[in-house]
A and B are shown apart, each in its own frame.
Chain A
Amino acid sequence: MMRLSWFNVVSLTLGFAFLYIPMIILVIYSFNAGKLVTVWSGFSTKWYGELTQNEAFLNAAWVTLKVAVVSSTFATVLGTMAAYVLVRAGRFTGRTLFSGMIYAPLVMPEVITGLSLLLLFIGIGLDRGIVTIVLAHTTFSMCYVSVVVSSRLVTFDQSLEEAALDLGCSPIEAFRLVTLPIIAPAVISGWLLAFTLSLDDLVIASFTSGPSATTLPIKIYSAVRLGVSPEINALSTIMIAIVTVGVISASLVSKRNLVRQKREMQAAERA
């Protein structure tokens, strides 16, 4: 292992401190016994207990989860289809326009996306609630999915699909049996990305949610406006824990697969 110079140690410490000190403070205060967020008065897990009694938070969490699962699934299907056409269909009139248009929502300010969706829902007389949030989240997260999937499709050897056709597959079978299993990792990471985007979206959800359904970020935001309670710290800590465990296990699995594949390939070449 290479020894780090003092300069590297300092810059590393500064960088990580900048990133993580706020979160560490939040986690520490979630175990505070007192009600005041900024004054430490002993260790306690009572806020976690109270959280499980808070009907409003639990409801919002449940709505958020439902919205995230459904919208990311829709977004994955639509985004994958769009990516497939844009990468595979070759040159057709307006292709450049289409591929530009699929990326535009990525850089569009969320406020504008939210506002335009709100106007649309009012215009067609759709009552705001869980359905409108799902539609809105699908709209903005499908571009992210299509970016992730199309970057995988670009490096995909097209002769694999031709081989499937050559061996008797219809084009749909070729996609289902060959293309989809091979691009599956990209499709899954697209789904995860859409899921996380939906999970922590505040702006678009605040435009498209109604009194019947509120998501967790909206609930937290409105609760914080009345004052930060240790309960919210506890809730945030749980979310941090879930995300951390997810990210670490995903990277461990993919790293282990990579190492195994490399070893097997070396073994095959030696044999």
Chain B
Amino acid sequence: MGPVLQSTEFAPWNDPTEKPLIRFRNVTKRFGDFVAINDLTLDIYEQEFFALLGPSGCGKTTLMRMLAGFETPSEGQIELSGQDIVPVPPNKRAVNMMFQSYALFPHLSIWDNIAFGLRRSPMSKPDIKARVEEMLKLTRLEKFAHRKPHQISGGQRQRVALARSLAKAPKLLLLDEPMGALDKKLRQETQFELMDIQEKTGTTFVIVTHDQEEAMTVASRVAVMDEGCLIQVSTPDRIYESPNSVYVADFIGDVNIIKGTAKAQGDDLYQVNWSDGMPPLNATSETDFSDGQTCHLAIRPEKVAISADKPDGADNAVQGKILDIAYLGNLSTYHVELTSGVIIKAQTSNTRRISRRSFTWEDPVWLSWTATAGVLLVN
């Protein structure tokens, strides 16, 4: 396996000749009457950093536990490198998992924790020693090798858990909310560290998270799940810019949803009638809408411009007054109530340090955006 070249785009999912490492085929998992996974089909490719994203109870953890072998599907097949792994017990799978609670063995030192899996394999003692040292170096834990898990900090424990799960050089590494127990700053550092390690080792990573920022940062592809189904599987930028449903648009980041009816204007251009007595909005769409069909215009707050005067030549411009201002330091979000009662969020970045705010509460303002800024969604 050669090093991944940064210049070539990594997108095996677009290559029809590429064989997936993992294949879920019509997998259903039931716990009694409750359907945790509903007829799910999914391919994951080698060297991917794949994120399963969704609210708690959406089935993402069940999906991961089926890969590790702790749950068996009620129906369907799971393949790893072309081999059906459903009947294979967890201790015989070339898959390792990093647990949410880290699950470090409290009675063993850091060194013995990392060596634990290697000692279950036919590896020789000097080889085990070399491999453990390598893992300690990779995760910068050399100094702590002889400490017990309770003698190190939370961030260090997280790295031990990672080193232990990577030590056996698995084909596939599963990470269950790996950064859930870390504070925000440490989490961001760790995300980059994780990406770095994934790139160095060339291991396929599948991460479960409910934190959309985390999924967007680390993953090559993100699967958004809800109620045991995949809603959308795509790259982070596609998920953000071209969500396929209101659910995905709303789950990832902040969004304005304007409900209306579509009217074709030719050339992928549509008019959206959204409020009586208001001029229709203009939006482009790659998917077709019939005249009069209900549609939702999803538009991100940072793509909505705010100004005191009516902008010239804008595709869409609406007037309203400022209801609320959320100051986030780097950004400010304005909640603007239109005359029709709809509230639209507009975001501007605070590029200057001490700038007098141009607008304040109750100010009448104009909001504008281009026809290509938003996405038209069916539901």
A interface residues (Cβ-Cβ under 8 A, vs B): 157, 159-160, 162-170, 173, 177-178, 181-182, 261, 264-265, 267-269, 271
Contact = CB atoms under 8 A, between A and B. Distances in A.
Nearest to B170: A166
Contacts of B107: 181-182
Contacts of A160: 103, 105
Contacts of B152: 268
Q: Which of A162, A163, A265 has the largest count of B CB atoms less than 10 A from its CB?
A: A163
A169 B70 contact: no
A265 B101 contact: no
Contacts of A166: 68-69, 90-91, 95-97, 117, 165
Interface of B: 68-70, 89-91, 95-97, 99-101, 103, 105-107, 116-117, 120-121, 147-148, 150-154, 156, 164-165, 168
20 contacts: A157-B103, A160-B105, A162-B68, A162-B90, A163-B105, A165-B89, A165-B91, A166-B96, A166-B97, A166-B165, A167-B116, A168-B117, A169-B120, A182-B105, A264-B148, A264-B150, A265-B151, A268-B151, A268-B152, A268-B153
A173 B105 contact: no
A261 B147 CA distance: 12
Contact of A167 (B69, B106, B117): B117
Q: Which of A166, A181, A271 has the most CB of B within 10 A?
A: A166
A167 B101 contact: no
A167 B106 CA distance: 16
Contacts of A162: 68, 70, 90, 97, 99, 103
A269 B186 CA distance: 14
B208 to A, nearest CB: 14
Given A159-B101, A162-B99, A264-B150, 12 more contacts: A159-B103, A162-B70, A163-B164, A166-B117, A167-B117, A169-B120, A181-B107, A264-B148, A268-B150, A268-B151, A268-B152, A268-B153
Contact of B164 (A159, A165, A167): A167
Contacts of A168: 91, 117, 120-121, 168
A157 B147 CA distance: 21
A268 B153 CA distance: 5
